[in-house]
Every structure is written in C-alpha cells, then in structure tokens.
Structure 1
Amino acid sequence: MSGGLMVKNSKIIVAVSGGPDSMALLDMLRLQNNELVVAHVNYQQRETAKRDEEIVQRYCIKYGIPFELKLFENEDYSNFQDAARVFRYNFFKELLVRYEAEFVATGHHFDDDLETYVFQRNRKMKSDDVGLAKNSIVKGVRISRPLLTYHKEELIQYCNDFNIEYGIDESNLELHYTRNKIRHEISHLDDNEYQKLIVEMQEKRNENQEFKMKMNERVNSWENALTIKEYATIDNGYRYIYLREWLKKHGIEVYTMSESYLLEIDRNIVNESANYEFNNLVLQSSYDTILLYKKESFSYKFNDVDEILKFESPYFSIEQEGKKIEGITLTSKDFPLTIRSGKLDDQIKMRFGHKKLRRFFIDEKIPHDKRQIWPVVVNAEKKVIFVAGIGCDVHHYSNNPSLFMIELKVS
C-alpha cells in the first residue's frame, strides 16, 4: 500500500503531535530538502503530553528546524474535540501567514482515511470527499496529506528502522470517543471483511467523483445569475452542496459555513426571500431569479451643464438629444448638482404626486443588482429632480431640455 512521498522543495508547516505518523512525515519531508516549520499543539489533557512536546522539540533542535508551540488553555468549551480543532486551525493560519508557507502537512495515513469513510457512512454525511482527500482546504487552511498510501504499521516500522523517537497517545485506546470506537471495530475485522470495506470505500469515492464532475459542469453554467425554477430542479437533499460550490466559485469563503446555514440560505432562495451579504458580494432571490452581484454605488458632483456634458461614467451616459422621458431642464439654481446611485427612500415630485423609488423598483421588477446603481439627479436643495426610467420632476420639465440622461450602461 505504501508509496513514495512526492513533496519537494516547498515551504511547509508540518503539524507534528509526536506520534509515529507525524514524526515519520517530518523525517521524510526533511530528507527531501523542504523548508520546514514544525507546529505542535500541547492540549495538556494527559500526563504524557509534555513528553510528546519534548520529543518533537528534540528532533527540531537536532536538525535546526523552527519549532512553534501552542498550549491549549481554553476552559470554556462544551465539546473538547470541536474546541481543540478550532484552536488548532487558528494556529495553522497564523503560522502560514507569518512564515509565508504554502500549506500545512499532516500525518494522516490510510487507516485514518478508512476510519473517516466509516464515520461519514455511519452518520450519513454528505461530505466534499469520501474519506480524506490528499489535498483540501479546512477552515480556510490549505492541508496536504502525503501519507494516505501508508498504513500506520508501516510508519511505526519507518520510525523504528531509522531510530526516530516517538510517543504513543494512550487516549487513542479509550473507547468513549467515536473515532476510537470505529478504529477498534475495524481492527477486529477479518481479512475478507477488511478488503470488502476498502472496495466499498473506493466505489463510493468513484461515485462521488462522478457526482462532483456533473455538479461542477452545472454550476459553471450559472455565472452570476440563474432562475429559481432551474435551481429548484436539483434534488433538495443536494441543493445546498451545489449552492456552496457556486459561492466558492465566486470567491466567497464557504469553509466556515455550517450545513444548517447553507440549508437556511437554500430555503430562502426557493421562497424568493434570500438577502445575504458576503464581504463585497450580495446574494438575493426575487422575481424567479437568483443573483450574486458586487456591491456598488456612485456619486458625482458638477458645477454646471458643460461639466456634465464632458463627463463619462461607467454607469450611465449624458447626451444632448434623446426621448422626452430622458430629458431634464436645468437652471443655475440647481448647481452644484449631484448624479448618484438611487436610495430606496428617494422620492420625486411628479404632476400626479410623489413617486417613491422603492415603489418604482417593485412595479417595474427592477433586478436588485440594477437597483443599487440606478441613476438619480439631486439639485443644490438636496431634492431628487430626475430618476432614470421615471423622468424629471414637475419643476424641471420642458419641451427643450438642457440634457438627456440615456439608459443605464450596465447590462
């Protein structure tokens, strides 16, 4: 099952617990001339924790490898495993930035891979990967697992053969953790049952690869918009996975999003009530359309008509001729004048009363990405005197307009 370790000439953070798996990994990576930084977390949960810390530190001193230690002292947690995991990955993030490293290498091996698969199967989990992926991103951290072709016994033998010191974590033998129970169950399978389990995992892995290919093909066709009708044709048990992939495609951090949060977004999308912000992107659903768009706004100030006529904007265009509804007559009292993106509470005085911009957007079913950059003209008295698509207010209408605001440039 074992194979050569193919990681060379890289700057790597190596997660080393002091056990045979991570110590073997550390030694293999060192021998391949990688620039290494060792990350060790002492969780201080067992008497031998200090022993393992010292084992790792001695190796690093011997070979001149930077040794980074983090003590877990968080008392405020309901689930130790979850709290330790968050603590560990925050530590990794910190080191990746500080050392400008490429990724974190961990000592996960084939036995861990198989245990993970059984864990996923037992819980009926819909994970990105079946078992463990050789490369993945976990909580925003790029992780590499170079030892997935090795069995644990092979790694122990490696350490013994090359006189590499290691410690055994006796808590792995306790059965009150689910992982340890699974490990215990697998170890008691006969050869035939064990091989059947491996074949089963590989078959599920092949199915998952086929699923991901079809999903990526479909998601890549969505760009930044799609109809809710099309979205709803996806099996609702898998829609949130498609949603996560679509968000990831657009650079949104999805690795910290829980399944329940993604399912909430999914429900609101189908109900045409989704409205979520992710940094500079907005996800909204309405009028049978799902939109993912960049937050934008604009505001330009002008002192006279000549300034406006010389001005070019990526959002709208100004001309000296056009349709009556696009025209506006200005006087010197209107300046300084502002052309900006509209606000939902803007309103304009018409011959038949006031027209609210919010109502106009709803009546005309203007998509949300267009609403945020819809041009309005505001005079020196801070009054909205023109709205694209509505026209000018009652005081700025004439048969010989000063200028024309042509339709939005943004498609």
Structure 2
Amino acid sequence: MIQKFTKHINSNFPFLKGKKILIAISGGLDSVVSTHLFSELKYPISLAHCNFQLRGAASDLDEEFVYNLSQKTSNQIFIKKFKTEEYAKKHQLSTQIAARELRYNWFQELVEKHNFDYILTAHHADDNLETFLINLTRGSGLEGFTGIPAINGNIIRPLLPFSRAEILTYAQENDIHWREDASNASTKYIRNKIRHQVVPILKEINPSLLSSFGKTLKNLQESQQILEDRIDDISSEVIEKKEAIAKINIAKIQQLSNPKAYLYQLLKAYNFTEWNDVYHLLSAQSGKQVFSKTHRLLKDRDFLIVSKKTDVTLSAVERSFDINEDELEITNPIHLNFEEVTKKSTENNQTIYVDKDLLKYPLTIRKWKIGDYLYPTGMQGKKKLSKFFKDEKFSLIEKETTWLLCSAKNELIWVINYRQDRRFSSKLSTKNYLKITTL
C-alpha cells in the first residue's frame, strides 16, 4: 500500500520536494498516516495540532499523543489551545465553523511566521463524498458539488483520492497507532449522521460508490470550468473596473438569458447572500443598496456599483484635513505633492498650477457639502458642485469618495483629479506658481 501512496505523491505533487511543509495533525487515523507517509518520504515536515478543548480530558490526551509522536519522529511541533465555544458564541457561529476558522487562521499565522511553503491536511475520498451530500441537503450552486480541492492556494490535500478503508489498510500494514475520537461515532452532527446512516446505504446500493462519485466529480469540475470561462467572457463585457470600484452595466445584464443567475456568478466573490434583493436592484430606484459582510451594492442610474464597505465615506460626515504652507507633501487622506516652480508644463486631471499669492493658509482637504460652488476653468460664471457632479455623471460612490482642496476661506481650489477652480488659476504674469500633483 505504501508504494501506491508514494507513487501518487511523487506523480501529482512533485513541487513539494524540498519545500517546508506544515502538516495539520489531530491524532486521528488520517493525519497520523499522512505524517508517517511524508516522514518515510524524507520531506522536511513540521506538525501543527489544535486543542479545541471540546472533549474535556480526551482533548488533552490527543494533545499528549501528538506531542509524543513528534518526539518519536523528531519533527518540530506547534500546539495551541483554543476557547472554541467562547469564540463560537462571540461570533455567532456553530462550533464546527468556529473550529474551522480558528484552525485555518492559526495555520496561516504559522506559515507567515515560520516561512512554511505549504499546509497539508489529511482529507480523503470519504470526506469529499460527505461534503457533497451535506451541500446537497443544504442547497448549493454548482461550486458546492465540485468537491474539496486537492490544491487551494497553499493548502494541499494529497490523500484526497484515497478512501478511509485504504488509509486504514496503510496504517495496519505499517503498525501505525492513532487516537480514536469518540465523538466520531455520535450522530449529533450532520456529517456523522451522513457518514453512519446515509453513506452505508448508498454503498450497499453501489459497492463502487466512491469510484463512481469520483467520475461524477470530474464531470462536474469540467462543467464548472466551462461556466467560469463563460463568466470571464461576460465579465469583460458588462463590468467596468476603476480602482476598488466595479460598475455592472444593467442594460447588458438584462439582455442575458438569465440575469439573476449571471448576477450570482459575477457577485458571489463579494460575499452577498440576499440574492433576491440583489436581483431586484436591477429595477429599483437609484440610491437603493444591498450589503454583504464586506461590500455594498448600489443602484446608480444605469449601473450596479460594487465597493468595499471600508472605502465608503459618508459625505454627510464633516471631516477636514489642514495643510500648512511649509508642507511639501501629504499622504492623508490622499497623497499630494506641493512644489514651487517658475514655469508651467501641461496641466491635467492629476496636476494643476495655482497662483501661490492668492492662497490663504492653512489649505483644507474635505468632502463636498450642500452649498459648495465651483468656478470651473474654461467656463463663465459659477456652478453648484452638485450640478457639476450631475453634468459629469458622477455616481453616488464617486461623489462620496471625491476630495476637495480649499483655501483658508473655504473657497474651492480643486475638485481633486477632476476640475480646477479658475479663481486660483495662475495668470500669465505670475512668477510664483504652486504645482500640486496627486500621486
């Protein structure tokens, strides 16, 4: 059996050779076999064990077992105790989801601190089948039925093609000892219920269930790839991206065969969950919004606009930043450079020249407010800034995120990166220019 496992590792994961590997080890059969296998292959491995403190003394005995194993195999080990139930309650998570978050967050911390190349977990074919069935009972899109990925960033699952029975045979042939988790026999959790009550019936119906399931997964993964290719093509047609903002063209989305399905595929990476609300934004009034944990989706005339929550600054909040005359550069709230020059070069949206003699310090950077006026260069008279935004077709988010540069008397100098106010524009006779540039 060891030759079968070794051949699989060497054929499918040649990039692991010579890399620093962190193996997640619980003390159970799968993780102990994984540790044994990579030790036999002479890989430079370290072990990481999570004590979730959910099973009293049994959790501490798992920790002791894993520590003793590390001493026998001369492998470095990291052990951490978690207050899992406390974390789950605080973040309103199930115990299992809380444990998963704690586990993977800690693993990534170890990777960054100790420069590991990869994290290895011991998921196998039975885990894959159980996850598929769990997703089936809960409802899922196609991605929920394509299985646990063998490679997901720096997380590797080399035992994924092997069944629990094959891993058990490996352990018996190599006289490997492990810890049995008594809770695995309980049907309290949905995974165990599927493992002990559903899967045995399916295997009775089809003794080659895992093999058949593997073929099904491959077909679904190929279908998923076709879908992703199609979404990539559609994305380039209907989405305009500018820095951290994405604008989805509503008219183009509505021309597609199933707008709701396309919106799901285009927006799922932004953590939205209320898909009916998202779909209804297509026909909603401008200003309507839907929020996810990380982003907001805003209806603005002909577009749905996606932005990070942290990038949104409410224009109603009065906040300003002063700039003194001796400052040559600022980085907060934006990056500006100030330089006295005697000659002008080409002005553009990122660079303006002003008559320094007309400025009253301190200058101020702030957001717009009702009543602001602009005397636009190239135009006669003045214009309300709100009208300027409308004429220039600013989105609501663009209005919220645009900064103004003002004089000490609160007179507008520059709608930064858009339009200069002509009152401070340098005259031909000016000898004292101030060049202001956004970086």
Is the counterpart of residue 28 in structure 1 residue 52 in structure 2? no
Under a length normalisation based on structure 2, what TM-score does the superposition of the two structures give? 0.69
CA RMSD of aligned residues (A): 4.4
Of 172, 184, 188, 1:172 maps to 184
Give the structure 1 partner of residue 316 of structure 2. Answer: none
Offset of 1:134 from its aligned partner?
0.7
Relative to its length, the structure with more helix (as a share) is 2
Q: Is the 8 A contact 1:11 1:35 kept in 2?
A: yes
Offset of 1:171 from its aligned partner?
1.3
Offset of 1:42 from its aligned partner?
2.0
Is the counterpart of residue 16 in structure 1 residue 41 in structure 2? no
Offset of 1:346 from its aligned partner?
7.1
Which blocks of at least 5 consecutive residues in structure 1 are unaligned? 248-256, 319-327, 404-408
1 or 2 for the larger relative contact order (CA 8 Å, sep ≥6)? 1
Give the structure 2 partner of residue 359 of structure 1. Answer: 387
Give the structure 2 partner of residue 45 of structure 1. Answer: 54
Query: Mean Cα displacement is larger for which, 56-65 or 371-380?
Result: 371-380
Offset of 1:9 from its aligned partner?
2.1
Of 332, 347, 356, 2:372 maps to 347
Of 70, 81, 84, 1:60 maps to 70
Tell me the distance in 2 between the aligned counterparts of 1:95 and 1:171: 28
Q: Is the 8 A contact 1:297 1:341 kept in 2?
A: no
Give the structure 1 partner of residue 412 of structure 2. Answer: 384
Of 114, 134, 148, 1:99 maps to 114
Give the structure 2 partner of residue 193 of structure 1. Answer: 206
Q: Which amino acid aligns with 1:136?
A: N
SS in 2 for 1:4: helix
Under a length normalisation based on structure 1, what TM-score does the superposition of the two structures give? 0.73
Q: State the Cα deviation string for residues 48-101 of structure 1 (Å, max 9, x = none).
A: 333332222222111221111122334433532122222212221221222121
Of 223, 226, 231, 1:207 maps to 223
Q: Is the 8 A contact 1:299 1:341 kept in 2?
A: no
Identical positions, percent: 22
Tell me the distance in 2 between the aligned counterparts of 1:147 and 1:71: 26
How many residue pairs match? The answer is 376
Is the counterpart of residue 147 in structure 1 residue 159 in structure 2? yes
| CA distance 1:22–1:96, change in 2 (3 Å) | same
Q: State the Cα deviation string for residues 209-231 of structure 1 (Å, max 9, x = none).
A: 32223223333554514412234
Offset of 1:360 from its aligned partner?
1.9
Q: Is the 8 A contact 1:337 1:377 kept in 2?
A: no
Equivalent residue runs for 1:56-95 within 5 Å:
56-76=66-86, 77-78=88-89, 79-95=94-110
Q: Which amino acid aligns with 1:288?
A: D
Which blocks of at least 5 consecutive residues in structure 2 are unaligned? 242-246, 312-332, 432-436
Q: State the Cα deviation string for residues 30-63 of structure 1 (Å, max 9, x = none).
A: 2333322211112333353333322222221112
Offset of 1:203 from its aligned partner?
3.8
Give the structure 1 partner of residue 302 of structure 2. Answer: 288
Of 250, 260, 264, 1:240 maps to 264
| CA distance 1:121–1:151, change in 2 (3 Å) | same
Tell me the distance in 1 between the aligned counterparts of 2:158 and 2:206: 26
Q: State the Cα deviation string for residues 312-347 of structure 1 (Å, max 9, x = none).
A: 7771455xxxxxxxxx9x583446696979735572
Tell me the distance in 2 between the aligned counterparts of 1:348 and 1:155: 74
Q: Is the 8 A contact 2:52 2:84 kept in 1?
A: no
Offset of 1:155 from its aligned partner?
0.9
Is the counterpart of residue 315 in structure 1 residue 327 in structure 2? no
